[in-house]
Amino acid sequence: MTTRFHNYYQRWLQTLYSKTLKKIPLCLEKIGSDYGGWFVPVDLVKSNWICYLGGVGEDITFDLGLVERFNCQAFAFDPTPRAIAHVGKIGPVKNFHFLELGLWSCAKELYFYVPKDPTHVSHSVTNLQGTDDYFVAKCDSIDHIMSGLGHKNLDLLKLDIEGAEHEVISSLLQKNIFPQVVCIEFDQPDTIFRMLKTHLKLTLKGYKLFYVDGWNLTFVHKQAILKSEKK
């Protein structure tokens, strides 16, 4: 349930990113559908970028949009049966890679709890909606995944993972992995304190908020901003 503190936070976010855009006018565009798309600084994204996209559901228009427009490498992660079936219907796409794996802070098997509405696809390891049924799936940390895939750098990270975003971000920053762009959804219901804590962690590690689309936030690291200013 949205509280007045959530509303205050939303208004503060709107003010914060508006000020940032005035100072650093990166070109922001929404890649993907109205439902599954994300706003990213398109003048930063390059063909050699490695993108990790946590949470597939039944909409990969953002994933495929990145590949089609920038010819970069997109790695999507989701162990949910309906997500697996959805990707299977699409078939192979050049530069798009799908792993039936959840994102977490370490390698382990976790319970993925069902949503209250059976028509919804997303499951939650943090049991956001307080349900009883679940399935079990393998999860891993981003640093372990990068090592296994032979990736030394990660350029864009998207997290739409139903409450696990806080654990993943904390682990990522502790390992000193700083993607140039971080797109993160604060899945609801969530506490204002947990959202603020994760936001603060990103800020302290050099990230600036560049766009707010509901609870979908786009952050850009200061090093990427400095590179864009020098061009």
Question: What tens digit of pLDDT does each residue of 62-95 get?
Answer: 999 999 999 999 999 999 999 999 999 998 999 9
Reported as a pLDDT band with limits 50, 70 and 90, residue 18 is confident
Q: What is the pTM of this model?
A: 0.93
Class of the domain covering 4-230: alpha beta
Query: How would you label 60-74 residue by residue, b for 16+ Cβ within 10 Å and e otherwise?
Result: bbbbbbbbbebebbb
Give the per-residue pLDDT at 24: 73
Question: What tens digit of pLDDT does each residue of 88-108 get?
Answer: 999 899 999 999 999 999 999
| Alpha-carbon separation of residue 42 from 33, 55, 62, 206 (angstroms) | 16, 21, 13, 20
Give the per-residue pLDDT at 202: 97
Give the per-residue pLDDT at 4: 77
Specify the range with the lowest mean pLDDT, choosing from 42-56, 86-100, 112-126.
112-126
∠ CA 98-48-150 to the nearest 5 degrees?
55
On the CB side of 70, CA atoms within 13 Å amount to 24
Residue with tokens 């590179």: 227
**Cα 39 from chain centroid (whole Å):** 11
Would you list the domain boundaries of the chain?
4-230
Whether omega before 189 lies within 30 degrees of 0, making that bond cis, reads yes
